Amino acid sequence: MTPMKKSTGKKTKSGPAKKTAKVFKSKPSPKAASSPKKSRPAGLTGMPAGVGAKDFLRITDFTTQEVRATIDWAIRWKAGKVAPRPMADKAAGLIFHKPSLRTRQSFETAVFRLGGHPMFITDKEIQLGVRESIHDVAKVMSRYLGLIVIRTFSQADVEELARHATVPVINALTDAHHPCQILGDIMTAQEHLGRIDNLSIAFLGDGNNVFHSWADLAARIPMDLRLGTSPSTMPDLAVVEEARRNQTSKILITHDPVEAVRGADIIYTDVWASMGQKDQAAAKAGQLAPFQVNAGLLKHAKPSAIVQHCLPAERGREITDEVIDGPKSVVFDEAENRLWIQGAVIAQLLAKRR
């Protein structure tokens, strides 16, 4: 009989031997560059280079290069190639002393798309120079807002507002100038004609604020600008002479509508009596009747010519239904482009202020 081994009373564990986990040490990251590039602040991706001017009161506030860059950037923004938000966390005050369809909606939409909050202000809230001085209004609004847009009567009032404001001021229309309209119009020409240089532009009708801004553009972009108007509806010749002294463009004033239109790339017109001049509507209708844009007059322009009107139109007066609704008309493209060009102007003015 085999003797039994004495039990020690301790239990022994059985099973496979424990595996020791391997520890993998991460390799040190490569040395960072000595001067890494700083990322742009949120909201500034795709911003334009900016402009030297603080304000946009006339087209001549921008240099030729800045005008071209603003148009190019507006086209890129419209195409969805850039989407900055320079107005983020900012409000824009929109002072309107004149009624508006396109100007108000296009500016409000542009501010919103650029990340800001538009505030519509009528003459009842702000009576410039009456309830408060323009100086005081400018100083107060600059403390609240990132941008001021004004549509009013007096160019001098807009210039004084800009002089005292510490934020950018944009002229959305005065009796003397309408710069945003004309930038939108030449942007539309770029889209339809493929260029903006050396175009022949026939403006038919009253020598008004819209024509003055065309003359300002002629001081920046080479063109053959012609005004067909009556001897009683001439423009401010000081504005015309200022543009001529720049020697960039040819500017002709004629009382013959056919001479104005002959070989033109763009036929342009506006209402014969602007806001604040409706008491002169009947007189101007008699003076400007020969300058109506109609099918007969269009025959003297280039076959590829386009027709522009800044709107609102008095159909049957300065332009016929046949023309404004015809295949050469680009008036609703112009209206849309107010949104894109005004957003581009805002972006340019804010680009160097962030």
Gap between the Cα atoms of 244 and 283, Å rounded = 30
Gap between the Cα atoms of 108 and 116, Å rounded = 9
Judge whether residue 39 has pLDDT over 70. Answer: no
235-249: average pLDDT: 98
Ranges of beta strands (E only) in the chain are: 91-96, 117-122, 147-151, 169-173, 199-204, 223-228, 250-254, 266-269, 306-309
pTM of the shown model: 0.87
Active site amino acids: 310
Write down the number of H helices and E strands in the chain.
12, 9
The values of phi and psi at residue 211, to 5°, are -65, -40
Nearest to 97 by CA among 177, 166, 158, 165: 158
334-340: average pLDDT: 98
More confident residue, 19 or 67: 67
Judge whether residue 111 has pLDDT over 80. Answer: yes
Give pLDDT, residue 354: 62
Judge whether residue 32 has pLDDT over 90. Answer: no
279-298: average pLDDT: 95
Judge whether residue 33 has pLDDT over 90. Answer: no
Please report which confidence band the pLDDT of residue 54 belongs to, taking 50, 70 and 90 as the band edges.
Answer: very high
Give pLDDT, residue 139: 98
Please report which confidence band the pLDDT of residue 42 belongs to, taking 50, 70 and 90 as the band edges.
Answer: very low
Judge whether residue 253 has pLDDT over 60. Answer: yes
CB 268 within 8 A of CB 206: no
Give pLDDT, residue 4: 45
Q: To 10 degrees, what angle do helices 179-193 and 64-78 make?
A: 70
9-32: average pLDDT: 47
Q: What is the CA radius of gyration of the chain?
A: 31
Please report which confidence band the pLDDT of residue 129 belongs to, taking 50, 70 and 90 as the band edges.
Answer: confident
Judge whether residue 290 has pLDDT over 60. Answer: yes
Q: How far is CA 118 from CA 154, 163, 282, 346, in A?
A: 23, 22, 38, 13
Q: pLDDT over 70 for what percent of the chain?
A: 86
162-184: average pLDDT: 98
Average pLDDT, the chain: 90
Nearest to 301 by CA among 267, 352, 346: 267
Give pLDDT, residue 317: 97
How is 147-169 classified by DSSP, letter by letter? Answer: EEEEE-S-HHHHHHHHHH-SS-E
Q: Tokens in use for 220?
A: 């920046």
Judge whether residue 274 has pLDDT over 90. Answer: no
Cβ neighbors of 313 (< 8 A, separation 6 or more) are: 271, 319, 324, 331
Give pLDDT, residue 34: 45
Give pLDDT, residue 123: 87
The domains located in the chain, with CATH, are: 59-178+337-351 (3.40.50.1370), 181-335 (3.40.50.1370)
Gap between the Cα atoms of 302 and 257, Å rounded = 15
Give pLDDT, residue 131: 86
**Sheet arrangement for strand 250-254:** 250-254, 223-228, 199-204, 266-269, 306-309
- Name the DSSP letter for residue 4: P
Give per-residue pLDDT as tens, 189-224. Answer: 999 999 999 999 999 999 999 999 999 999 999 999
